[in-house]
Structure 1
């Protein structure tokens, strides 16, 4: 079951959008701070599109995975450069900063068979904004 985190990470880092989508059931749930809170493929791919547009060079590194029953918990890190717009709190685009970040995050996934039913991601938004120079004002 922990291999599923490796598969999602590999397809993400390889920019295999269709392969990453296939790791999830059709009516999956996706929750991410300030980006997506929804169900189905549209929510999943909205997260992909927003992240890839804002941070096209991003790479995920898995630090550890814990599996218990139908639950998988990952501790990972994203390393990226902000070269595309980021959606602000009201949806207004924030221009790219050109700054790099190295941001730890956690993912809590519920699994059914060999696919993900639900993913909830958590990261420190203040840390992210600070690394991007968006808290300097």
Structure 2
């Protein structure tokens, strides 16, 4: 179970791919991924945007084959960050600290379902992004 955290912190995408089952499903604010390669592509986008990214577990609860973990993600925004709508936030040089939670379901030692939850607004504010509301008509 710690292999995934170690792979993320080592920025080892090849090793991270080996953490997921062939039919794994990934859900996060960034989108939905199916299968190891597609799932790891989401991690790659974060590592491109935050090359010094560090995932620090805060607390963990295990029940059967399910692990729920609270964590803190830290990094410096020195690369392009792709938003779910396709917009790119260019590097700001700002540091971010994101609190989040994830659940992972394991089967035969591999992740079959990985759901990540974090406050997107918290991340955007730390990046200096401004929310622009549509004009009322």
Kindly indicate whether the alpha-carbon contact (under 8 Å) linking 1:36 and 1:46 is maintained by their aligned counterparts in 2: no
Q: Name 1:31's counterpart in structure 2.
A: 27
Could you tell me how far 1:89 is from its partner in structure 2? Answer: 4.2
| TM-score, with length taken from structure 1 | 0.89
1:77 is aligned to 72
Supply the distance in 1 between the matched residues of 2:22 and 2:110 (Cα, whole angstroms).
10
What per-residue deviation string (whole Å, max 9, x for no partner) do you get for residues 76-99 of structure 1?
A: 110101111112342022211110
CA 7–42 in structure 1, closer or farther in 2 if over 3 Å, else same: closer
Question: Normalization by structure 2: what TM-score?
Answer: 0.89
Partner of 1:118: 113
For 2:39 and 2:83, the matched residues in 1 are separated by: 19
Distance 2:36 2:91 in 1: 27
Structure 2: gaps spanning 5 or more residues: 133-137
- 2:38 paired with 1:43: yes
Q: Kindly report structure 1 stretches of 4+ aligned residues shifted beyond 2 Å.
A: none
List runs of 5+ in structure 1 lacking aligned partners: none
8 Å Cα contact 2:20-2:35 kept in structure 1: no
Does residue 107 (structure 1) correspond to residue 102 (structure 2)? The answer is yes
Specify the SS of the correspondent of 1:37.
strand
For these two proteins, the number of residue pairs brought into alignment is 132
CA contact (8 A) 1:36 1:43 kept: no
1:54 counterpart (44, 49, 55): 49
Aligned partners of 1:106 and 1:122 also within 8 Å? yes
Aligned alpha-carbon RMSD (Å): 1.5
State the shift of 1:136 in Å: 7.2
